[in-house]
Amino acid sequence: MAQQSIKLIECPRDAMQGWKTFIPTEQKIRYLNALLEVGFDTIDFGSFVSPKAIPQMADTSQVIPKLKLADSRSKLLAIIANERGAEDAVLFDEINYLGFPFSVSETFQQRNTNSSINESIKRVEAIQELCIKNKKQLVVYLSMGFGNPYGDPWTEEIVFSYAEQLVELGIETISLADTVGLATAEQVKRMAGYLVNQLPETEIGVHLHSTSVNWREKLAAAYEAGCRRFDGALKGIGGCPMADDELVGNMDTEKMIGYFEETNSLQLNTQALQNSLLIAGEIFN
């Protein structure tokens, strides 16, 4: 393992991007600043993608200057889908990570990034070079990592093969993404465990979607497999609008915190967490 302590990645961007009504920029700023006080390792806060595709995130560049980062230990991650978005994102010193959704489903890759899987491999290579030049780190999400609803070819071996290709390109962090909530706990444990063991120099994370019934077993499976990087969203809201309107939501961060604090000290600001939950309740209602 590249690291052993628990890393919680809070994903308000994932929660906000599919919300039906536009969330005012000032509301986004207020919510993100509240989250920055909690003590999450990273905040997946916005994206640099076509405003036609994801109108909710069109104001990301306006949000950044208003974020109170000086007293926060959290780092910022922005999602990009191509080199143009990456070129925009690297201009901001405040951003630490760029996140690229690399789907093992050809259909979803076209829908999500308007490129084929082969074209996306080349994009990853170009974006990785851009990140190195600008002192950013690229995080690649293996989306549809546990299967897809389109009938596209999928096996665990296909997923592992793409992960190995990404590592050959210099990617140091890969997150297995359960984009539409298809993963079983057994799959999570087996696949995450394989990647953790076969790619010991690579940080392997999970971006799991779950219901109120199966979240715990999925989370436990990933942890037992050796994952220490976990994505979530407060109140379990969110999912990719490019996939389906009836997605299983993100894993609820509050539940994740409760699970991990049974055995780990996360050193979070509980008052700031409660404040963030109150704001989330106002925004997502």
How high is the mean pLDDT of the chain? 93
Half-sphere exposure of 18 (CA within 13 A, CB side): 18
Tens digit of each residue's pLDDT (9 = 90 or more) over 10-30? 999 999 998 989 999 999 999
Mean predicted confidence (pLDDT) in 24-37? 98
Indicate the pLDDT class of residue 1, thresholds 50, 70 and 90.
very low
Share of the chain above pLDDT 70, in %: 95
| Pairing of the two strands 42-48 and 7-10 | parallel
Report the DSSP beta bridge partners of residue 101. Answer: 141
- Residue type at 122 in one-letter notation: K
Tens digit of each residue's pLDDT (9 = 90 or more) over 105-155? 999 999 989 999 999 999 999 999 999 999 999 999 999 999 999 999 999
Q: What is the DSSP letter of 152?
A: -
Distance, in Å, from the CA atom of 21 to the CA atom of 17, rounded to the nearest integer, reads 10
CATH number attached to the domain at 7-284? 3.20.20.70
Tens digit of each residue's pLDDT (9 = 90 or more) over 42-67? 999 999 999 998 999 999 999 999 99
Distance, in Å, from the CA atom of 283 to the CA atom of 246, rounded to the nearest integer, reads 20
Quick check: 197 pLDDT over 80?
A: yes
Radius of gyration of the chain (CA): 17
Return phi, psi of residue 239, to 5°.
145, 165
Contacts of residue 81, defined as CB under 8 A and 6 or more positions apart, other chains included, come to: 47, 49, 50, 100, 101, 112, 113, 114
For the record, the structure tokens of 249 come out as: 């939501």
Model-wide pTM > 0.85: yes
Q: Which residues of 54-76 are buried (b: 16+ CB within 10 A; e: fewer)?
A: bebbbbbeebbeebebeebebbb
Supply the pLDDT for residue 240.
53
Indicate the pLDDT class of residue 249, thresholds 50, 70 and 90.
confident
Q: What is the DSSP letter of 20?
A: S
Cβ neighbourhood burial of 248 (10 Å; 0-12, 13-18, 19+): buried
Tokens 């609820």 belong to 252
**Length in residues, the chain:** 285
Distance, in Å, from the CA atom of 253 to the CA atom of 235, rounded to the nearest integer, reads 7
Helices vs. strands in the chain: H and E counts, helices first: 11, 8
